């Protein structure tokens, strides 16, 4: 007779693998099925990690090229070895995926290679890469199948010249002319990498702004900075197709509001127009799980329940499509299955754009507060006036804190500047504890540090900013 599991997870990305490890720690009998051949999902294999590896190396190259001399550091002529750069990225990815396999073993979570399909209540069928089949019996099924990139009509992805994030992270040479369709977070990170390495990058975006989820003041300033770095923006443009010719690609677009078609030539086109839940062919109908039109699994609000004994987490449900959100979902579900309390506050999931300068935010934007009619006070502090930023010659950007006018409770924080991806954590903790902006303003921050800009912005809310 088949063994019965407490939990079988379909998908080994940040949602699935964290759920598996936590379930193992809680003493549940757990298996995680992954079809990719490697654990880590989109994030580790073709997302967060490889993109940050390339962002880091390309930023070092740009800094050495453009900033070293003014700081008194002499170098010879610098060059890029793309093959080596891609190889060191792959090595990092490999090391981290192996690390998850180790954590599975350490925490008694079973890793099953293959494609999972729900065969009925408490039954998951697994098809191995060699075609072999087995059926697992389980008390709980967790759907953690993530998301996949979407494209546009008239565009055929080949992952060589017309690429998604997957191809964009493994190009074998620096394209001379690169067009990026979509000015969201993923697109801007990819555009930054290749622009720093020498590509002429044109960003084509349907909306009349970049980074639609970000605070509009930050987005406007970011666009100005990226333009100065060499990115060309064509906003309010609808891409209608990409024609593949032998020597080049021809992208057609027309104004989103209507007008004449225009064409742009490119060597590589990156399509970064969003991602959709990956839930096709999973056998959801066999257990009464429903999805919306975009494939997003419908769950009871806050409880991740998709049907009796079926849970769903990460990119394939509602909420921000971010690795740390998927991870928190996974841990919460393992704890709920083990009879404990599991909860994730989607209002306090931080977002970070790993460009230079970095951009980070948590909580409400000014646009949202205005729309909701919430009265707020804004404190803002520029890195130009922060002594550590000045010593490091990294003075672009600012910290902005939004607090409730009556209670002083922090409602949102928005930053652009050096290391803000790390610094946003302070605001996440403060907001989790329901802090007022005065709490931050009265907390000692080491001098000279970048984080003093956070304190100064909080002091700005109180009306007593002090630093120069």
Catalytic residue list: 447
Spatial separation of the C-alpha atoms in residues 165 and 159, rounded to whole Å: 9
Instruction: Indicate the annotated binding residues for FAD.
Output: 52, 116, 145-147, 315, 321-324
By CB under 6 A, tell whether 358 contacts ligand FAD: no
Q: Classify residue 39 as left (phi > 0), alpha (psi -120 to 50) or beta.
A: beta
Determine the 3-state secondary structure of 104 from DSSP: helix
DSSP at 70? G
Q: Contact between 350 and ligand FAD (CB under 6 A)?
A: no
- Based on the shown chain and the rule CB under 6 A, indicate whether residue 11 belongs to the binding site for ligand FAD: yes
Q: Which pairing describes strands 237-244 and 249-255: parallel, antiparallel, or unpaired?
A: antiparallel
Which helix (H) or strand (E) segment holds residue 177: the answer is: strand 177-181
Q: Which residues have C-beta within 8 Å of that of residue 369, sequence separation ≥ 6?
A: 376, 402, 411, 412
Q: Which is nearer to ligand FAD, 100 or 403 (CB)?
A: 100
Closer CB to ligand FAD, residue 208 or residue 280?
Answer: 280
**Residue 41 in the binding site for ligand FAD (CB under 6 A):** yes
Question: Looking at residue 296, what DSSP letter applies?
Answer: P
> Among 8, 10, 59, 51, which residue's Cα sits nearest to residue 30?
8
Give me the least distance between CB of 69 and ligand FAD, in Å please.
31
Spell out, one character per residue from 147 to 166, where the chain touches ligand FAD: x when CB under 6 A holds, - when not.
Answer: x-----------------x-
Check residue 37 and give left, alpha or beta (phi > 0: left; psi -120 to 50: alpha): left
- Is 116 a binding residue for ligand FAD by CB under 6 A? The answer is yes
Using the contact rule CB under 6 A, the part of the chain among 47-55, 173-181, 340-348, 388-396 near ligand FAD is 47-55
Residues 413-452 contacting ligand FAD, CB under 6 A: none
Please, what is the Cα angle at 357 between 321 and 182, to 5 degrees? 45
If one asks whether residue 12 binds ligand FAD (CB under 6 A), the answer comes out as: yes
Question: Among 10-18, 22-30, 209-217, 252-260, which window interacts with ligand FAD (CB under 6 A)?
Answer: 10-18
Window 232 to 251, contacts with ligand FAD (CB under 6 A):
none
* CA dist., res. 9 & res. 106, Å (int): 18
Q: Which of 7, 8, 9, 10 binds ligand FAD (CB under 6 A)?
A: 10
Q: How far is the CB of 354 from ligand FAD (least distance, A)?
A: 6
Query: To which residue do tokens 């007593």 refer?
Result: 464
Question: Contact between 315 and ligand FAD (CB under 6 A)?
Answer: yes
Local structure of 274: helix, strand or coil: coil
Residues of this chain that bind ligand FAD (CB under 6 A) = 10-16, 33-36, 41-43, 47-48, 51, 115-116, 144-147, 165, 186, 278, 282, 314-315, 321-324, 326
């Amino acid at each position: 007779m088949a063994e019965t599991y407490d939990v079988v997870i379909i998908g080994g990305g940040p949602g699935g693998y964290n759920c598996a490890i936590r379930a193992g720690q809680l003493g549940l009998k757990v298996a995680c099925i992954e079809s990719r051949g490697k654990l880590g999902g989109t994030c580790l294999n073709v997302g967060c990690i490889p993109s940050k590896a390339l962002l880091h190396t390309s930023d070092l190259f740009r800094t050495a090229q453009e900033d070293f001399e003014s700081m008194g550091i002499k170098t010879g002529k610098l060059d890029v070895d793309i093959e080596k750069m891609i190889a060191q990225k792959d090595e990092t990815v490999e090391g981290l995926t192996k690390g998850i396999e180790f954590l599975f073993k350490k925490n008694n979570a079973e890793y099953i290679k293959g494609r999972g399909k729900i065969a009925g209540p408490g039954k998951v069928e697994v098809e191995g890469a060699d075609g072999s089949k087995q059926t697992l019996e389980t008390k709980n099924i967790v759907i953690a199948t993530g998301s996949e990139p979407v494209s546009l009509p008239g565009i055929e992805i080949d992952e060589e010249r017309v690429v998604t994030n997957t191809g964009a992270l493994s190009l074998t040479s620096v394209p001379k002319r690169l067009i990026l369709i979509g000015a969201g977070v993923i697109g801007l990170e990819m555009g930054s990498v290749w622009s720093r390495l020498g590509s002429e990058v044109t960003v084509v975006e349907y909306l009349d702004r970049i980074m639609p989820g970000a605070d509009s003041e930050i987005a406007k300033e970011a666009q100005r900075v990226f333009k100065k770095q060499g990115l060309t923006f064509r906003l309010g443009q609808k891409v209608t197709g990409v024609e593949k010719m032998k020597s080049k690609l021809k992208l057609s677009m027309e104004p989103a509001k209507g007008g004449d078609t225009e064409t742009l030539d490119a060597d590589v086109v990156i399509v970064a127009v969003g991602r959709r839940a990956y839930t096709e062919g999973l056998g959801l109908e066999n257990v009464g799980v429903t999805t919306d039109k975009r494939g997003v699994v419908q769950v009871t609000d806050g409880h991740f329940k998709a049907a009796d004994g079926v849970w769903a987490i990460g990119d394939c449900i509602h909420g921000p499509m971010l690795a740390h959100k998927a991870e928190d979902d996974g841990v919460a579900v393992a704890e709920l299955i083990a009879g404990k309390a599991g909860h994730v506050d989607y209002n306090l999931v931080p977002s970070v754009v790993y460009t230079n300068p970095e951009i980070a935010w948590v909580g409400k934007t000014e646009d949202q507060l205005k729309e909701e009619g919430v009265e707020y006070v804004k404190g803002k502090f520029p890195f130009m006036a922060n002594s550590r930023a000045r010593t490091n010659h990294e003075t672009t950007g600012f910290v902005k804190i939004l607090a409730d006018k009556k209670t002083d409770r922090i409602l949102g924080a928005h930053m652009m500047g050096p290391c803000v991806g790390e610094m946003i954590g302070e605001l996440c903790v403060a907001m989790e504890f329901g802090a007022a902006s005065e709490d931050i303003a009265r907390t000692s921050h080491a001098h000279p540090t970048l984080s003093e800009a956070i304190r100064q912005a909080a002091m700005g809310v109180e009306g007593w900013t002090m630093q120069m």
